[in-house]
């Protein structure tokens, strides 16, 4: 697919880790911040617009998306050190590459990024994290772009940040890059941490199936996976969507799942957990687009 060109009717199943979803009316992979700014300024991109990274936290519905999906992965994805001690990473860079770059450059506490199969943009939007670390713990400032194509440098204080939650205090903008601050450490230690983290994840998560990762946010003082398991839902299946036996907060696509199968399974889990525990599970995954029978 050529970059910086708007394509019509693009199958979204090729751009998310569940491998489901309908067509994007318009789809654009952007490789150049200035080109993107120009297209936005000229109002050449049909609205509404959604930015995505690797679609590892997104459920695209079967009826597709009216508007434009803009993907930054592999396009806007530079990473470099900015002396004395900052890393500049663009939104389309994968978190795994960021982690490896930071480790190789001798920074510490960067290993957790290796376990997040998304982009820096997605991690900024989600405040992605694991093993006690979250993306925004390390953000100094970000580069954003607004709907009129203007770029802004925003400080951390300009966002409300919480567990898997990030909202700008003012108007909505999209992330183009971040300046991250890691403490200096030891290259070999950080590289070893990445190796052992990847091993632990392989042991505990169904990584050989198409999945959207943790489906639900952990409610305060609870683990979503434990609640789901206690409701005997491991292995429960609707159509081609199944609650993983390995990790109950993961829903896997067993081969021919539709987005609707996954969404119906999500609703079923929420209803069973509520009935038995009186706790409402909120989705962590973002559900985007129209159902097949929507008009
Ligand atoms: C196997 C597996 C394991 C996972 N483990 C973890 C984990 O340990 N911890 C964790 O936090 N998550 C985890 N996830 C979820 C997911 O990887 C993260 O949420 C990740 O940060 C999403 O990045 P992405 O690029 O794929 O985002 P996408 O799914 O493409 O997008 C996610 C959201 O971010 C928005 N977005 C994306 N890019 C931008 C941008 N440039 N500007 C503004 N908004 C944007 C999208 O519109 C959407 O709302 C896991 C997922 C899988 C499949």
- Please state whether 67 falls in left (phi above 0), alpha (psi between -120 and 50) or beta: left
Is the distance from the beta carbon of residue 205 to the nearest atom of ligand 1 less than 6 Å?
A: yes
Please check the confidence at residue 295 and state whether its pLDDT lies above 70.
Answer: no
Q: Residues 56, 99, 105, 214: which is the catalytic one?
A: 214
Cis check: omega of the bond before 21, within 30 degrees of 0? no
The DSSP string of 56-120 is: TTEEE-TT-EEEEEEE-TTTS--EEEETTTEEEEETTSBHHHHHHHHHHTTBSS-GGGGG--SBH
Give distance in angstroms: CA of 180 to centre of ligand 1.
18
Six-digit token pair at 63? 């009826």
Write the pLDDT tens digit of every residue in 207-241: 999 999 999 999 999 999 999 999 999 999 999 99
pLDDT at position 218? 97
Strands 129-130, 211-214: pairing kind: unpaired
CB crowding 101-112: b at 16 or more within 10 Å, else e? bbbebbbbbbbb
Q: Tell me the backbone φ, ψ of residue 199, rounded to 5 degrees.
A: -65, -45
Strand partners, 49: 68
Given ligand 1 and candidates 128, 206, 211, 284, which is best to mutate, with the most ligand atoms within 8 Å of its CB? 128
Q: Is 1 exposed, middle or buried (0-12, 13-18, 19+ CB in 10 A)?
A: exposed
Please give the domain boundaries of the chain with CATH numbers for all domains: 6-71 (3.30.43.10), 79-203 (3.30.465.10), 207-288 (3.90.78.10)
75 pLDDT tier (thresholds 50, 70, 90): confident
Ligand 1 atom 50, closest CA: 213
Active site residue 154: no
Q: Residues 19, 31, 81, 164: which is the catalytic one?
A: 164
Active site residue 284: yes
Closest C-alpha among 36, 77, 71 to residue 50: 71
Is the distance from the beta carbon of residue 59 to the nearest atom of ligand 1 less than 6 Å?
A: no
Write the pLDDT tens digit of every residue in 105-138: 999 999 999 999 999 999 999 999 999 999 999 9
Per DSSP, the three-state class of 14 is helix
Is the distance from the beta carbon of residue 207 to the nearest atom of ligand 1 less than 6 Å?
A: yes
Is the distance from the beta carbon of residue 211 to the nearest atom of ligand 1 less than 6 Å?
A: yes
């Amino acid at each position: 697919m050529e970059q910086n060109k708007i394509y019509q009717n693009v199958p979204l199943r090729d751009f998310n880790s569940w491998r489901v979803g309908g067509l994007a009316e318009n789809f654009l992979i952007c490789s150049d911040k200035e080109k993107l700014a120009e297209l936005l300024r000229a109002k050449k991109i049909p609205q509404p617009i959604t930015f995505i990274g690797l679609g590892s936290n997104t459920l695209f519905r079967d009826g597709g998306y009216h508007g434009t999906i803009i993907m930054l992965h592999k396009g806007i994805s530079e990473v470099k050190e900015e002396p004395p001690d900052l890393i500049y990473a663009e939104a389309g860079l994968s978190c795994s590459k960021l982690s490896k770059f930071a480790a190789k450059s001798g920074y510490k506490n960067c290993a957790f990024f290796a376990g997040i199969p998304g982009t820096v943009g997605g991690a900024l939007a989600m405040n992605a994290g694991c093993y006690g670390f979250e993306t925004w713990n390390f953000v100094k400032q970000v580069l954003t772009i607004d709907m009129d194509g203007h770029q802004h440098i925003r400080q951390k204080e300009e966002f409300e940040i919480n567990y898997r939650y990030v909202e700008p205090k003012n108007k909505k903008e999209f992330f183009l890059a971040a300046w991250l601050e890691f403490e200096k450490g030891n290259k070999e230690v950080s590289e070893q941490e990445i190796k052992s983290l990847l091993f632990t994840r392989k042991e505990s998560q169904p990584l050989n199936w198409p999945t959207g990762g943790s489906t639900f946010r952990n409610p305060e003082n609870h683990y979503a996976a434990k609640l789901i398991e206690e409701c005997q839902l491991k292995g429960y299946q609707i159509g081609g969507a199944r609650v993983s036996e390995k990790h109950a907060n993961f829903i896997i696509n067993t081969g021919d799942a539709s987005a609707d199968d996954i969404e119906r399974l999500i609703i079923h889990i929420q209803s069973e957990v509520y009935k038995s525990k009186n706790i409402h599970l909120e989705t962590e995954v973002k559900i985007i687009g129209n159902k097949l029978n929507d008009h």
